[in-house]
Amino acid sequence: MRLHVVHETSYAYSSPVVLSHQLLHLTPRALPWQSCESHRIELEPAAGEVAERADYYGNRTVHALVAVPHDSLTVRARSEVLVKPRAAAALGMPRVAWEAVRARLAPIGGQAPVEAAEFAYESPHVERLRELADYAVKSFTARRGMLEASLDLARRIHRDFKFDRTATSVSTPIRQVLKERRGVCQDFAHLMIGCLRSIGLAARYVSGYILTTPPPGRPRLVGADASHAWISVWCGKGAEGEGGWVDIDPTNNCIVDDSHVTLAWGRDFADVTPMRGVILGGGSQQLAVRVTVRPATDPIRV
């Protein structure tokens, strides 16, 4: 599926900003199932200095410096991305019992690759908690397949938790989400990652987008019109041997396929914030974010 993505972030300030330094995670990753055909980032006012690089996890980042006084800032990322189906390949992976995957991730004696083992530990937004382990083990019963158990966990989160844009903020802890049973895609991703890590498994946080308007015959996914988030769980072995990461969207209770565009991944939201920066001045501020994802054959109005 060829998709057009427009992601616009606007800040309005009560007093002029003299200097703004922004770190952007707005560039789609190049992956075996995804290619970025075109991409550009526009800033208003224009940045005086721009630098691009890959971060520790291989995500493409842009550092932008705006050094002229301004009372508003708009960052607009436009991308055209070709995404191939991959859910069927994930379902065709060799079955591995989840206990065997956990054994490979053990701190002592485990043989998991570093790229998996480093995602089994706590991170700033994801604690390993007894309550999360208790919730997870209802899906991870004895000798159950790793992927089967992970999908069951996603299904239960989708069933037990209500999507509510007003219930949480960026800083809401997992404990509160677990207690109140409501939140948004970021919360459900953190929750599922916390459940997996709390029983000794590895999972990473993935940021990206989903189709705003799906093709005919497909249901509209929850979480469109904004950045989206899901998880990637390490299942031990992939369709071609080592690797074995499978992306699962607990907000929509599905394996991630060609309706999702991958931007970046990390330990949790803090590693892949779409836009994060430091400003000098500005006073109070108002934020507005708008995301549009459409098939390339549809007209785009910005």
Give the integer Cα–Cα distance in Å for 127 and 232. 17
pTM for the whole thing?
Answer: 0.92
Predicted local distance difference test score (pLDDT) of residue 297: 72
Predicted local distance difference test score (pLDDT) of residue 77: 97
Inter-residue contact 136 to 198 (CB < 8 Å): yes
Predicted local distance difference test score (pLDDT) of residue 301: 42
| Domain coordinates in residue numbering, the chain | 2-83+273-295, 87-271
Predicted local distance difference test score (pLDDT) of residue 237: 67
Predicted local distance difference test score (pLDDT) of residue 217: 73
Give the integer Cα–Cα distance in Å for 203 and 140. 15
Name the burial class of residue 67, with classes exposed (0-12), middle (13-18) and buried (19+) by CB atoms within 10 angstroms of its CB: middle
Predicted local distance difference test score (pLDDT) of residue 299: 47
CATH number for domain 2-83+273-295, candidates 3.40.50.720, 2.40.10.10, 3.40.50.2300, 2.60.40.2250: 2.60.40.2250
Name the nearest CA neighbour of 36 among 83, 77, 86. 83
What's the CATH code, domain 87-271? Answer: 3.10.620.30
CA 225-230-231 angle, to 5 degrees, is 170
Inter-residue contact 101 to 236 (CB < 8 Å): yes
Taking only the tens of pLDDT, the chain with its 302 residues reads 899 999 999 999 999 999 999 999 999 999 999 999 999 999 999 999 999 999 999 999 999 999 999 999 999 999 999 999 999 999 988 899 999 999 999 988 888 899 999 999 999 999 999 999 999 999 999 999 999 999 999 999 999 999 998 999 888 999 999 999 999 999 999 999 999 999 999 999 999 999 876 667 776 655 456 789 999 999 986 444 445 899 999 999 999 999 999 999 999 999 999 999 999 999 999 999 999 998 887 544 44
Predicted local distance difference test score (pLDDT) of residue 169: 87
In the numeric block, the tokens 């397949």 are attached to 145
